[in-house]
Amino acid sequence: MARAVRTGVAVSERKMDAATNKSAATGGAGTGARALEEDSEHFGGPATVAHSLSLAIQQARLAKKLTQKELATLIAEKPTVIGDYEAGRASPNPAILVKLDRALGVHLPRPAKKK
């Protein structure tokens, strides 16, 4: 066949099962996506900090005249952690909330427990 291609002769090549979509025929890829879409139990993203908690952290920090970086240093965390909590992007971590309570001298509101 390579010789025919080099000499310029028209060659027709058909690959076996090249135009078939076996995963669709057997229910492969589509079923997982459909099951995930139909799953009504797991919707939404991960739980994030409530607005009231974000506001309480920011107000307590400003009352102590601390920057986010200074507060992070006090609780041995990265400054981005404080920024994420104040922006409402962080997932609530009880250990970090306890550290914030102690460093700020206040009791911050806790997220409601799921039943």
**Structural domain boundaries enclosing 65:** 51-104
| Cβ–Cβ < 8 Å for 70, 109 | no
Euclidean distance between CA atoms 61 and 57, whole angstroms = 6
pLDDT of residue 64: 95
Looking at the domain assignment, is residue 89 inside a domain? yes
Looking at the domain assignment, is residue 90 inside a domain? yes
Looking at the domain assignment, is residue 86 inside a domain? yes
| Residue 69 binned pLDDT confidence (cut-offs 50, 70, 90) | very high
Looking at the domain assignment, is residue 79 inside a domain? yes
- Check whether 6 has a pLDDT greater than 70: yes
Looking at the domain assignment, is residue 61 inside a domain? yes
pLDDT of residue 29: 54
- By three-state DSSP, how is residue 31 classified? helix
Looking at the domain assignment, is residue 94 inside a domain? yes
pLDDT of residue 100: 95
- By three-state DSSP, how is residue 95 classified? helix
Query: Per-residue pLDDT averaged across 67-84, rounded?
Result: 95
Higher pLDDT, 74 or 21: 74
pLDDT of residue 109: 87
Residue 5 burial by Cβ neighbours in a 10 Å radius (0-12, 13-18, 19+): exposed
Give Rg (Cα) of the chain: 29
Measured at the CA of 100, the angle between CA 50 and CA 111, to 5 degrees, comes to 25
CATH number at 74 reads: 1.10.260.40
Amino acid type, 53: L
pTM: 0.59
Which residues contact residue 95 at a Cβ distance below 8 angstroms, ignoring those fewer than 6 apart?
Answer: none
Looking at the domain assignment, is residue 64 inside a domain? yes
Total of domains in the chain: 1
How confident is the model over 85-103, as pLDDT tens digits? 999 998 889 999 999 999 9
